[in-house]
Amino acid sequence: MVFIGDKGCRFTSDILEFFTNRFSLFDENLLDENTIVLVTGGSGGLGLELVKRLLVCKNKVIIVDIHPPTTDFGTADRVVFYRCDITDYDQVEELYNRIKYEHGTVSILLNNAGLTSISLLKSSSNDDMRRVIDVNFIGAYNMIQIFLPEMIKNNRGYVVNIASILGVITPARLSSYGASKAGLIALHISITRYLRSNYGKNNIKTLLVCPGKLKTTMFQNVETPSKFLAPDVEPSKLAKRILTSIECNATNTLSYPYYTNIVPFFKELNWPHIKAFKKFSGMNKVTAI
């Protein structure tokens, strides 16, 4: 769905929230006090904003990160932190068993954890490349591989993969980040088709999120080339749209802000057009640091 301008996005989000809160137009809403939500990378950035908004929905929230959150949520019984390196399959498996024993079944999985490395491909170390791909792609794969079967068994669940529009068209010096997000997009599509082919119209939903540049520490040294054409994304606003989509049982792709809806169009063009697009948009220039 394409929206023209940020106001259009806000208007549509508000309309969805109005109908979701007042009418039973959608399937079961998983955002209630009986649902356990797991957020990877939930100690900061977008993940932290998702946790804050989930608490308003009265969910129990499990934060999985390598660093504990510094925020005082004031609801200790509803927020639980587990330290886990999601790139390690054995650690994720141990995490799953512990959560199931101590809390129950996770019904909503938010694959949010991510990191980046800004450098020329020839200047990137093998360790840096591997770490970015491991966290952004392998980590999400591990979480899905281990937590999805229980959702299928219970016929109740939601998997949200937070990718990036840079996984569609990647600027210079972000090869590892773009590759990892492109892989996550492909993984999401594959899993969605698998669920639909093997289980039909069940209660396992999937949502792909492809935002533009987030206003977080991950890209704090990257200046946005055009605040008007490609504004930075406020994590709190994106978190609101993600949870609205979950409330509405959306199963498509959430692209925000407005320009991310037209970027895939350029992907279908020949390389000279893509090169011209990158130059005109300034996306290569701003990563030349």
> Model pTM?
0.78
Residue with tokens 């996005």: 9
- The distance in angstroms from the start CA to the end CA of the chain is 34
Q: What is the 3-state secondary structure (H, E, C) of the chain?
A: CCCCCHHHHHHHHHHHHHHHHHCCCCCCCCCCCCCEEEEECCCCHHHHHHHHHHHHCCCEEEEEECCCCCCCCCCCCCEEEEECCCCCHHHHHHHHHHHHHHCCCEEEEEECCCCCCCCCHHHCCHHHHHHHHHHHHHHHHHHHHHHHHHHHHHCCEEEEEECCHHHCCCCCCCHHHHHHHHHHHHHHHHHHHHHHHHHCCCCEEEEEEEECCECCHHHCCCCCCCCCCCCCECHHHHHHHHHHHHHCCCCCEEEECHHHHCHHHHHCCCHHHHHHHHHHHCHHHHCCC
Residues forming beta bridges with residue 157, ordered by sequence position: 204
**Token reading at 120:** 């020329």
Please state which of the four CATH numbers 3.40.50.720, 3.90.230.10, 3.20.20.140, 2.60.40.1180 is assigned to the domain occupying 30-288: 3.40.50.720
User: Which residue type, as a one-letter code, is found at position 212?
Assistant: G
Which pLDDT tens digits describe the chain residue by residue (289 residues)?
333 334 444 444 455 444 444 443 446 778 888 899 999 999 999 999 999 999 988 889 999 999 999 988 876 679 999 999 999 999 999 999 999 999 999 999 999 998 876 555 556 667 777 999 999 999 999 999 999 999 999 999 999 999 987 767 656 667 788 889 989 999 999 999 999 999 876 789 999 998 877 665 555 555 555 454 455 678 899 999 999 999 998 888 887 655 555 555 555 555 565 555 555 555 554 454 4
Cis peptide upstream of residue 272 (ω within 30 degrees of 0): no
Which residues are tagged catalytic?
Answer: 177, 181
Is the CB of residue 90 less than 8 Å from the CB of residue 98? Answer: no
Backbone angles phi, psi at 133, to 5 degrees: -70, -40
